[in-house]
Amino acid sequence: MTATAAVTGVAARAARHSYNLHMFNGNLTARFRRRAARFALAALALAPVASAHGEMLPPADAVLVVKSEHRLYLIREGQPYKSYRVALGLNPSGHKEREGDYRTPEGQYRLDARNPSSDFFLSIHVSYPNERDVEYAHRNHWKPGGSIMIHGLPNVPRKSPSYYHSADWTDGCIALSNDDMLEVWLLTRANTPIEIRP
């Protein structure tokens, strides 16, 4: 399956949920199919991508998450050029230390894998735990945990739309609205560095 088909398929599946139609306030199917196909082709060609507002955006050199601001920034040539609101782990303060602590990690990592068919609207894997995280957890006889992702909203939501927009609700991941997640998916590449700050 091509990347274009994969992203278009995800958008089409999301559109079938009345919850997602409500979250996007419009005709998600038509809008997402058009945007996903156009964006995915542009991303594969490493060309600038048209954002939801029509501006042409280059791919990011790096990603920065500032937990205290609940913001994810796309960085190009050392400068932020896009910013998105994010939800964090249920226990957002402090660095992730072990499995089940509901914290979002802090430090230097990479975006090292993608899943267009996850339980959430797209997901990009963050390379937590690194060697230091594993060593610290083992020293304390803990499991370091893993499966830290940047992702969109749940495909099968269990809470109201307002909850997902106002609360930290993940197990330690970094969550965006589906519109924002589509942009981040298309404006990042394999092994893009990500820094997560307190």
137, 192 Cβ separation under 8 angstroms: no
Kindly give the confidence (pLDDT) of every residue in the chain, 198 residues in length, as a single tens digit, with 9 standing for 90 and above.
444 455 556 555 554 443 343 333 333 444 554 455 445 444 444 556 766 566 788 999 999 999 999 999 999 999 999 999 999 999 989 999 999 999 999 999 999 999 999 999 999 999 999 999 999 999 999 999 999 999 999 999 999 999 999 999 999 999 999 999 999 999 999 999 999 999
pLDDT value of position 50: 64
pLDDT value of position 11: 54
The token pair at 1 is 């399956």
Choosing among 2.40.440.10, 3.40.630.30, 2.40.50.100, 3.40.50.11030, the CATH entry for 59-197 is 2.40.440.10
Q: For the chain, which residues make up each domain, given as ranges? A: 59-197
> What is the phi/psi pair of residue 119, to 5°?
-75, -5
Helix (H, G, I), strand (E, B) or coil at 71: strand
Count CB atoms within 10 A of the CB of residue 57: 19
> What is the phi/psi pair of residue 45, to 5°?
-85, 5
155, 178 Cβ separation under 8 angstroms: no
pLDDT value of position 29: 45
192, 74 Cβ separation under 8 angstroms: no
> What is the phi/psi pair of residue 83, to 5°?
-140, 140
pLDDT value of position 56: 82
Q: What is the pTM of this model?
A: 0.76
Count CB atoms within 10 A of the CB of residue 50: 16
